Structure 1
Amino acid sequence: MSEYTGEATVLRDLTFPYRFIRPAEAGGECLFLLHGSGVDETTLVPLAKQIAPHAVLVPARGRIPQEDGFRWFERITPTSFEQASIRTETDAFATFVTEAAKRHRLDLARATYLGYSNGANLVSILMLLQPGLVRRAALLRPMPVLDETPPTDLAGTKVLMIAGAADLTYGPFAPALVTLLSQRGATVDARIVASGHEFGDPDAAIVRRWLADPAVA
């Protein structure tokens, strides 16, 4: 029998399809999981279990179809994106987070947003366009995607960014996002791992240690 409940059930009662996965020995923390492009909400679940085995997991599915999967907003090229789609989907996801917290009695003060690639980008936008909603975020292989960024005050927001040393598509853009979030007041811990755009065990270890740091809690 699985130590987790809810893994097989896709819920469609809110703005985004999602799963609600609760471990047998759940603590009070929760992770919202935002997948990369062309896949679905299941892809980050194994990584999240490595990172926080006692956290409630809320893996959500982007609403924009791409190939055999989904993404979070429309793209023009691999590194340029449809700005109206970005804002529409970000606003909708902010509503989803608020409604999911009410529905499942989640404490958003103890929530961490774990995003990969396109999902990490959505989390970074969420911080900039919906100030106060995200307090902790772990961004794997992100890049800046907004053409115009508001003067958001991100003081008190803790961000972990992990770039891939051999990620030739997103890697060169990662320092600009570190600078942007830092200038807005976020505390940013920027790391580089010896990989390409893919994620793996080294990412899980870094995120797990980061979340265990009392300064991040």
Structure 2
Amino acid sequence: MEHVTVVEAPANGVAPRLALLLLHGTGGDERDLIPLGREAAPDALLMGLRGRVLEHGAPRFFQRLAEGVFDEADLVARAADLAGFAEDMLARLAPGLPRAALGFSNGANMAAALLLLHPRLLDAAVLLRPMVPLVPATLPDLTGRQVLLSSGMADPIAPPAEGQRLAALMREAGAAVTQVVQPASHGLVQRDVAAATSALREVGRPAAA
């Protein structure tokens, strides 16, 4: 499968402030997170990508062996492939702009893997309902990276404990991590949008003295 993408510039000819990769959950596509991305970051150049793995016809970004059990070899290979493609796309379409990813569920896990395996690709990430995708043998230096993790209090797929484990891993690597737990299950709620908006507003801004 080829990489399928959709690119959407800010409305009214506004110059984009950042480039935002949108990575959908299982069964989604490149347009799923466009409305969320636009609401959370009105001034972003949105880049929606479709996962290249099919699980019973449902697009994903990497294979899994069972619910919550990831095929780590496939994840590493897919992350490398996606990182190379995204790097080229960002260099062509958004040179010089800060780079962030917003991912939901499977897409959040892929975004986390990109941070852990290809740390130079992204400046920030918004991870909605994430799990720990893998633990690399050597942690990258994520100093200066901004990461938001938003878990659902009653999520049976990606419980808050998974978000806590991932937050600890990202902090150990040096990232500036904000973790929130929403009164929700696996589905997104308006509080996720508010949290994403707040996080993306800070991307590319100098840290307060």
TM-score scaled by length of structure 2? 0.90
8 A contact 1:32–1:59 mirrored in 2: yes
State the partner residue of 1:23.
10
Equivalent position to 1:92, from 81, 90, 95 = 81
Q: Structure 2 vs 1, CA of residues 215 and 191 (structure 1 numbering), >3 Å: closer, same or farther?
A: farther
State the partner residue of 2:134.
146
8 A contact 2:9–2:16 mirrored in 1: no
Q: Structure 2 vs 1, CA of residues 105 and 181 (structure 1 numbering), >3 Å: closer, same or farther?
A: closer
The one-letter code of the counterpart of 2:147 is: V
8 A contact 1:18–1:41 mirrored in 2: yes
State the partner residue of 2:114.
126
Structure 2, unaligned runs of 5 or more: none
- Within a 5 Å distance, the mapping from 1:1-217 to structure 2 comes to 16-24=3-11, 25-108=14-97, 110-146=98-134, 148-171=136-159, 172-213=161-202, 214=205
Aligned-pair Cα RMSD in Å: 1.9
The one-letter code of the counterpart of 1:165 is: M
TM-score scaled by length of structure 1? 0.87
Aligned residues: 203
Instruction: Summarize deviations over 1:125-155 as a string: whole Å, max 9, x none.
Output: 1111112221110000001021544221111
The one-letter code of the counterpart of 2:123 is: R
> Within 2, Cα distance between the matches of 1:141 and 1:60?
18
> Within 2, Cα distance between the matches of 1:196 and 1:63?
26
Structure 1, unaligned runs of 5 or more: 1-11
**Identity across the alignment (%):** 33
8 A contact 1:138–1:160 mirrored in 2: yes
Moved more, 158-167 or 193-202: 193-202
SS of corresponding position for 2:37: helix
Runs of 4+ in 1 over 6 A off after TM superposition: none
State the partner residue of 1:5.
none
Q: Post-superposition shift, 1:216?
A: 6.6
SS of corresponding position for 1:197: coil
The one-letter code of the counterpart of 2:48 is: P
> Within 2, Cα distance between the matches of 1:105 and 1:215?
20
